Structure 1
């Protein structure tokens, strides 16, 4: 690459000979030392030179890179973080980077892929032994040298031992290259450790084998979603390396092997496939372990459910550690404090929480007029509780509140501020509705955006809201007649559009398979010929990526194996069949049930449709065929939405009665009785339990939660 007139003749006493490339951080030059040694000198862009935080990070980059031996990397020769434009010189590694080589010559053959896997595992072993996490392992940062691959560019690495103490890592920034990032880099970037490089290693090997990443998508948002929740595309990876790659791409960081374990597997030539084996009918379910001891094969890792609409999917209980419990955990039960206690306007029947979610190592719950309440995971301490409406008006009806979703550093909730006004002889209530991002640690608003302001009109809870990596998509406008994207960092409205209008139009925002959808149900002027339109929204613009209209008044029940699953509300009429939409081809199909079913709840969890009755009966149905897999009496009356691990389904009642059912057979494998402080008189559906590691957090009763080690069920 030819030098330009503006390029310097020398940097730090090193003569510049050529340009090697440029990127977001700076320009890389080929230079030569006085002794003739060839160096790669990275000079940061001038726009960063006045940024004190950047200089601090660059200084740490240099310090981190110096700790690595250089046997499998490009060793640091010299650097100056205080220069007008900071620079760092490393030994020049001749050869192509992996990305360039694959683009020019195609995928690597199996023998070279195995050499690459071993070389990168050795490099990561060297890097991690120095206490460093690279955090941006990608094809462009792998040089194919004559003596094996070298890992370069520690541009966003950090010392592992300082991860929990570094204030610069607590800003919620997501740093890396999306197609090769790990799930935790999107969901909890301040907790990233060495296991993130192992995930990236798996993604790099897939690229080297197939010329594409395992989660590639034209949209960065879809790429991020696929990394966190999707199944990797491994076509092109040789059979002998598939188990190796699957182990690296485990969603749960604690279930990924370390570099030494990977090298052992390659040397021994025995690569166990981590996919779960079929279970025998009678023995207890095999539970996955936190840390693999080879050659044990264990089940798949956790799937994050930060934006799940009604169900919670989590890693199977059981740990090889031998426990996967928060430090200092013990079984607990707590009730959230009432932030409006003593206010006569808040008096009335209490209800259970409507939804709970894990956020920043705490359990956040909402409902019954509570915007959010925080419980510590280990002891259940209720450290703060915020009301949805801090000053309820006499005539207000602001709604119950719910958790919209969460990301590192923020939990998204609804708020309301009601005031009494006089309009004629009748008192009325004017309510200003907001979507708020709360700090999970303190409960204080990070931002608050008004999304509706009306008199006795609907609030955003009615039509829902959806969390995406870009922010929150919520109904918007004085009469909630539009929808808008609220920026994740500041709550700024990035775009907004009118909701579709028409006779008896009824629209709601929801998500399925980690993607946002707008569901609108309409009919003609006489209320006849109902139809439902499903539109997938592009978070970047708010416009539909595609939309399909089907006959009937349908609800979106969930997502299963690449299909949206729609059906009639089983509470209103018997469910006779399902409508499926292939999310890739958009082909519409219908599936008939062998027997029409009524149900009090219908939930798609882990690719299975579960129909529940107030009596406790549960039916498991394959939504793609309509075939009933099993029917069971859970012993749980008035069950709420279920949670599921890789092996068991968990159902809880409003009183806190809990049952665990084998996913394959429906057999009840464990129960807990209801609690004395629970109350089922209202018949209100309770929030789904939340499974995190080996602990199940069960909402019940009046704004109460208890926790249990699922291995004790």
Structure 2
């Protein structure tokens, strides 16, 4: 970068030769010492020189950088935090930063990736031994020097031995770069320790391997939400490095490895497991600090650049779920309700999905029907089975979506035999429908026969993966297969289900495929959980747990399993939650502090277990500790699965009665009465799943009906 007329000729006696970069709060120059040594000199913008807090932060950066040796960083040569414009000079490191290099040249090859991962682990070991937490490790702060990566910019670092009462941590601001920050930097910034840098290391390695971060999103708020609660996107990370980044990206700091653990893993493949204590140990959890802040996070609408040399500093505000900004609604939106019913209808939609400007719903013998997101206008509808019959069923569900497409299943049912000897034979298929027209783009047959099984995600017989669909397959549903949606559903592989199993289900947790099979043997009931290789379908590993369990999803890097509500021996009470670490294969049974009734439906949403009862009671339980956070009467009868969004939880009844609860306390904030403009579904069922797009909430109710409301107007 060329020097400007306003740039100084020298700073602190060092001759300025060029500009290296600039940020929101300062400029970085290339300078030369009297002996000819090249330096990088950071100079604060004049308007911040009178900010006492900023000067204190700058002094802390200088002190932190000086505490760390120069082997893995840019050593401090000189500094003056009391100058009219504070400055700091470090040794100049030639070469590009990791972010620039990857943008120009693409992801690093495996061998180079290993060098960078090991170099950064060594750097963090050195930094942490000096009692410093960097707190802003990101690609722009990693210089690719000839002798290995160097970590730079300690502008928001904190010495590990600083008192919690440090005034600089009490300003209400959380500093960092959202895609590479740790969950605790959002939820509990006063308690950030060395483990935060390990999380950032994992995110940096994902970026180096793929050219994107594991939590990238166009919106800073969405990025923050993904960091705190979402699963990382690891597609493209070489298989040998996936365990490395998975360990780093554990949500809870205490489960992350140390730099020494990571170096041992890279050296000889040793997986760190400091808590291993035999199979299925019972863990007694100590009380933790309340984590209310975790539930109320948002990135401020204008991201504040508090940076030196490109180091982003982001102000994080508490999210209330509402603001004075304009509502986020589809163009031309108005409140609406619509129905897609006929004389044979008897049940509700069980699932809807928003695709582009369309809301597509399925259920009650409807394969899919399309409504306008903005107005509710219905443009097309397709039955599950095109063959006319004189009865209806609850068949029909949405397996997944893609731009302009919705994936559903069809059942071309035929009759075998005549008269009293006739039997119904199903011919199931997965189809891709054009959302605009309802036209079938492609069809793949998945099962035939009297015992054929529908590829229904609601029954655990199908799951959407990033590049395809995992579905039950073959005659009598005795196999499972992967349908490649990038190749018109081509079956890439299929395998038989275990013959000895009582029943199996297919699930996708954090975009990864799992096969969960229940077994009833002479030695007792067990459940086998297998992680499937997406490329071949073969189990990568299998873990056997006691009891009949169902997988609810993934949280904090662990699979969450509960007693199977649909098992032959019905659950009378829920007493434990089981977690499974995919990296170490370690099972942990966590006792519930309060047993929950077996009639409850259990849902994992936003990192919390919600037990919903037919009488409207909802109980929030931590899957990590088993403690119940709150119990609330939602005022909604037979509530459906909770929808967690921002600071609220939404639930609805079969009649469309809606309630919004505070996510932290369970307090009912808003309610909306049910609707009587559609016949009630029989028999009585729980409310359907809700769909939220921006501020537009879509609520299925009654018989094949749905309405839309602005959540700001509840």
TM-score range, shorter chain: 0.5 to 0.7
Structure 1 residue runs of 5 or longer lacking an equivalent are 1-93, 115-175, 187-192, 204-211, 238-253, 278-285, 288-316
Superposed, 1:82-161 pairs within 5 Å as 98-99=101-102, 102=144, 104-111=146-153
The answer to whether the Cα contact below 8 Å between 2:473 and 2:479 also exists between their aligned partners in 1 is yes
The answer to whether the Cα contact below 8 Å between 1:653 and 1:686 also exists between their aligned partners in 2 is yes
- Displacement, 1:109? 3.7
**Partner residue, 2:331:** 327
**Partner residue, 1:460:** 455
> 1:575 aligned to 2:574?
yes
- 1:222, 1:653 → 2: CA distance? 42
Change (3 A) 1:417 1:464: same
> 1:685 aligned to 2:681?
no
- Displacement, 1:334? 0.9
Corresponding residue to 2:477 among 480, 485, 496: 480
Change (3 A) 1:550 1:386: same
Per-residue CA deviations over 1:500-554 (Å, capped at 9, x if unaligned) read 111x520111222332211111112x7x711111112222111122221111111
The answer to whether the Cα contact below 8 Å between 1:429 and 1:456 also exists between their aligned partners in 2 is no
The answer to whether the Cα contact below 8 Å between 2:428 and 2:453 also exists between their aligned partners in 1 is no
- 1:427, 1:476 → 2: CA distance? 24
The answer to whether the Cα contact below 8 Å between 1:558 and 1:603 also exists between their aligned partners in 2 is no
Superposed, 1:6-405 pairs within 5 Å as 98-99=101-102, 102=144, 104-111=146-153, 179-181=210-212, 217-219=237-239, 271-274=313-316, 277=318, 286-287=319-320, 317-318=321-322, 321-336=325-340, 338=341, 341=342, 347=344, 350-393=346-389, 400-405=395-400
Change (3 A) 1:650 1:109: same
- Displacement, 1:603? 0.4
- 1:380, 1:550 → 2: CA distance? 47
Q: TM-score, normalised by structure 1?
A: 0.59
- Displacement, 1:263? 5.2
- Displacement, 1:593? 1.7
The answer to whether the Cα contact below 8 Å between 2:306 and 2:313 also exists between their aligned partners in 1 is no
Change (3 A) 1:409 1:231: farther
Per-residue CA deviations over 1:390-423 (Å, capped at 9, x if unaligned) read 114568x875111111122321111110122216
| Matched position secondary structure for 1:318 | coil
Per-residue CA deviations over 1:196-241 (Å, capped at 9, x if unaligned) read 9x99xx99xxxxxxxx999983259989x99xx997999999xxxx
**Partner residue, 1:414:** 409
- Displacement, 1:622? 0.7
- 1:331, 1:686 → 2: CA distance? 20
Alignment root-mean-square deviation, CA: 4.1
Change (3 A) 1:105 1:399: farther
Corresponding residue to 2:439 among 440, 444, 447: 444
> 1:513 aligned to 2:510?
yes
- Displacement, 1:456? 5.1
- Displacement, 1:674? 0.6
| Matched position secondary structure for 2:429 | strand
The answer to whether the Cα contact below 8 Å between 1:460 and 1:480 also exists between their aligned partners in 2 is no
> 1:669 aligned to 2:669?
yes
- Displacement, 1:630? 0.5
Change (3 A) 1:638 1:399: closer
Per-residue CA deviations over 1:60-110 (Å, capped at 9, x if unaligned) read xxxxxxxxxxxxxxxxxxxxxxxxxxxxxxxxxx97662586274433443
Per-residue CA deviations over 1:359-395 (Å, capped at 9, x if unaligned) read 2232211110111111211111112111111114568
The answer to whether the Cα contact below 8 Å between 1:579 and 1:591 also exists between their aligned partners in 2 is yes
- Displacement, 1:469? 1.6
- Displacement, 1:701? 0.9
Superposed, 1:542-581 pairs within 5 Å as 542-569=537-564, 572-581=571-580
**Partner residue, 1:649:** 649
Change (3 A) 1:266 1:104: closer
| Matched position secondary structure for 2:524 | coil
- Displacement, 1:429? 1.4
- 2:101, 2:312 → 1: CA distance? 26
- 1:646, 1:683 → 2: CA distance? 30
Per-residue CA deviations over 1:325-375 (Å, capped at 9, x if unaligned) read 111111111112x4xx47xxxx3x611111112222322111101111112
